[in-house]
Amino acid sequence: MPDPILNERRILIIATDGFEQSELEVPLERLREAGAEVDIASIELGDITGWEEDDWGDEVEVDLRIADANADNYDALVLPGGQINPDLLRVEPDAIALIQSFAEAGKPIAAVCHAPWLLIEAGLASGRKMTGYKSIRTDLANAGAQVVDDAVVVDGKIITSRCPDDLPAFCDAIVEALAEAEAPV
């Protein structure tokens, strides 16, 4: 039986082909177990394929297109990493606009691994304390973030983590941010 702490909470995950398998699936399962409704949005409808270690992973069904998603319908946004996924999404204007709309609404945004690239592209890194995968930390610093090497970093409504090993702390931070937030949408 799910812990009802996130009942009536709606969370959006945005991803495309090449998402790090565990970085989408672990938060998805954890948030659903906590009672949240979670949707997955991508560039197009259909299935998207994850990346696991050195090869393509499993497919995940997309619920809606990013272009059709509205931050007003959700309480938080989760951005899984992987090298391919955020690199493809950061050149998609609809993805960046959606991330910015979550930020403007003051809703939690959680990004793991390479996904902080999306926060850079959305103009959300400057002046924030953040972390990310070791290969993007220079990008974060160049975008004006104060970069730290911690499993999870929470700066206001922005939650960042480094890698799949940090997923327990990352998920805990998301649940905590949502539990502390005001009434759901």
Q: How far apart are CA 177 and CA 185, in angstroms?
A: 15
* Residues with Cβ within 8 Å of residue 41, at least 6 apart in sequence: 12, 13, 14, 15, 62, 63, 64, 65, 66, 68, 69, 98
* Residue tagged active-site, from 30, 107, 114, 162: 114
Q: How many CB atoms lie within 10 A of CB 103?
A: 20
Judge whether 114 counts as a catalytic residue: yes
* The Cα angle at residue 137 between residues 150 and 101, in degrees rounded to 5: 90
Straight-line distance from the first to the last Cα atom of the chain, in angstroms, rounded to the nearest whole number:
23
Active-site positions read 114
